[in-house]
Amino acid sequence: MKKILTLAFTFTITMVIAQNPVGIFADHKDIGNPKLKGDVVYNAADQSYQLKAGGYNIWFGRDEFHYAFNKLKGDFILTANFKLIGKGADPHRKYGWMIRAGEEDNAAHMTATVHGDGLVAMQWRRMKGAYMRDPQDELFTKKKACEIVQLERSGKIFIMRVANAGEPLQEVGRTDAVDMPDEVLGGIILCSHNADVTEEAIAWNVRQELIVPDTYNGYQDGILGSKLEIVNVFDGKRKIIHEDKGRFEAPNWMKDGKSLLFNKDGLIWQLPVEGGTPVQLNTGNAKRNNNDHVISFDGKWLAISSHRDGMPGGGSTIYYLPITGGEPTLVTDSTPSYLHGWSVNGKEIVYTAQRTSKSQAYNIYKKPINGGAETPLTFLEKGLADGPEYSPDGKYIYFNSTASGNMQLWRMKPDGSEQTQLTFDEYNNWFAHISPDNKWIAFLSFPNTVDAGDHPFYKRVMLRLMPVNGTGAPKVIAYLFGGQGTINTPSWSPDSKYIAFVSNTGPVNK
C-alpha cells in the first residue's frame, strides 16, 4: 500500500509541474522538441509577453516552435500586437496565433503568422500527420509586415485578419480546410525558422474573446462576461483593470483621475483606476440605473438615467445627485429620456428622447436641471439622433444621427443651429466623446451589417479617434467584442491620454 500511495503522489506532482501558466494562458511549452528551448515571460505591469523560441519551422510533416495557449471551445477571436526583437538570423522567423488540435508535433493546426521579411501567411495542416503543401495549404496577402494579427474560429470557418497601428482589420482569407475538434488549443507562437538559433518577440494587447453568433440577442439570450479596460489613445496599448462574469457598462473617469464609475445590476459602482473591489455609490431610491450616467464638468455632480415603472417607453428618467452620493433630484418628467451630457456651466443637461406626440423618432433635447421646459435641438421624423455631448469650451454639442443614412457623427451649436456632419464612412459611428483638452473625438464604430439605428451588445466593433474639428481620417485605437455598454457616456481620463471602456467575452451566463 505504501508503494501505491507513493506512486500516486508522484504522478500528482508531475501533473502539477507540467502546467506552466503565464499571463492569461494556462500553459506554455515547446512543441516538437526543438534543439534550443523557448520561453515566455509575462510582464504584469503592462500585460505584455516576452517570447523566446527556436525551432526549425512550422511546415512539412512536423512542427517546432514555442507556444503559450489555452484550451478553447466554440467560436472565438484571438487578437494581439506583435514585434520581433533584433535583426534575426532567418527572414522567415515568425510570430502569430495558432489554433491546434493537440500538442503532438504533427497535429492539425491553423496558423496566422507574420514573418521576419514581412510575409503575411495563413497556413494549415489539414489533419494529423499530413504533409503541409505549397500552395494548397496556405493563403497570402500583398500586405506586408503587419503588427496586429487576428485569428477567428466561427463554426467550421477560420478567418485571418491583419492591420498596422491605426488601421481597420483587413481580411487575409478564410477557409474550412481543417476539420478541428470542438476543444482545441489556441495561443500565441514564435518560431525562429532555424534550429540553431533562438529569436525573441514581444506581444501586447493579447486578447482571447469567446464570441456569440450575430443572431444572438444580448437582452434575451444571456449575458457575457465584462472587462473594464484602459487604452492609451496615442500608442493603443491596453490594460484590463477589472473583470466580471456578469454585465457592467459605461465607465466614467472621475475628475481627480483616481477612480472610475460604472453601472451594474441597476446600481452605480466606483473602482480605483488600478483595479480592486468596486464600492457601491449611493443613488438613493434610483436603483434601476442604466448605462447613461455623466459627471458634471466641475466634478461635483453625477447625472443618471434610471427607469420608473409604468411610464412610456420603458420609463428612463433623468436625475442628478452629488458626486459623493445621495438622494437624486428629478430633471425630466417625460419618458423615455436618456442622458448623455452636461452643459459646461452645470445648469443644463442634454439627452436623447422619444416624444411620440411629435414623432416616433428619437431626437436631442436640452433642459435646465432645476426646472423649465425641455428644448428640442433636432427634428428628425424618423430614425435616431443620440449621444449629445458638449465640447469643453461649450461652443458645440457633438452627437450621432441617422439623418444622412448610416449612423454618423455630427455637431451643432448649443441652440441647435449649424448642424454639420463630421464622418462619412461605411461604419455606423456612435457616441462622440470629446477629450478634456478639446482636441480629440473618441467614438465607437459598428460594422454596416448592424442596423444604423441600433447599437446592440456583443459585436465586432472598433474604438476610433479623430481630431475634434472633423479633419483627418479616424484611426483605430482598439478592436474588441462589445457594443452596447462599451462607451455610452464620457470616459476620457482628465489628462486626455486614456479612454476607459468595456469589452465582452464568454462564456454565456443565463
Domain coordinates in residue numbering, the chain: 2-210, 223-509
pLDDT in tens, 327-383: 999 999 999 999 999 999 999 999 999 998 889 999 999 999 999 999 999 999 999
More confident residue, 361 or 9: 361
Measure the CA–CA gap between 192 and 169, rounded to whole angstroms.
26
Burial of 135 (0-12, 13-18, 19+ CB in 10 A): exposed
pLDDT in tens, 375-424: 999 999 999 999 999 999 999 999 999 999 999 999 999 999 999 999 99
pLDDT in tens, 197-211: 999 999 999 999 999
DSSP state of 29: E
Q: Give me the pLDDT at residue 18, please.
A: 61
One-letter identity of residue 86: G
Measure the CA–CA gap between 54 and 402, rounded to whole angstroms.
53
From the list 229, 239, 231, the residue with the least C-alpha distance to 476 is 231
At 47, list the grid cell. 500585460
* pLDDT (mean) for 34-59: 99
For domain 223-509, give the fold: Neuraminidase (2.120.10)
Q: Give me the pLDDT at residue 10, please.
A: 34
Q: Where is 268: in which H helix or E strand?
A: strand 267-272
Mean pLDDT of the chain: 96
Measure the CA–CA gap between 316 and 353, rounded to whole angstroms.
9
pLDDT in tens, 416-446: 999 999 999 999 999 999 999 999 999 999 9
**CATH architecture of the domain covering 2-210:** Sandwich (2.60)
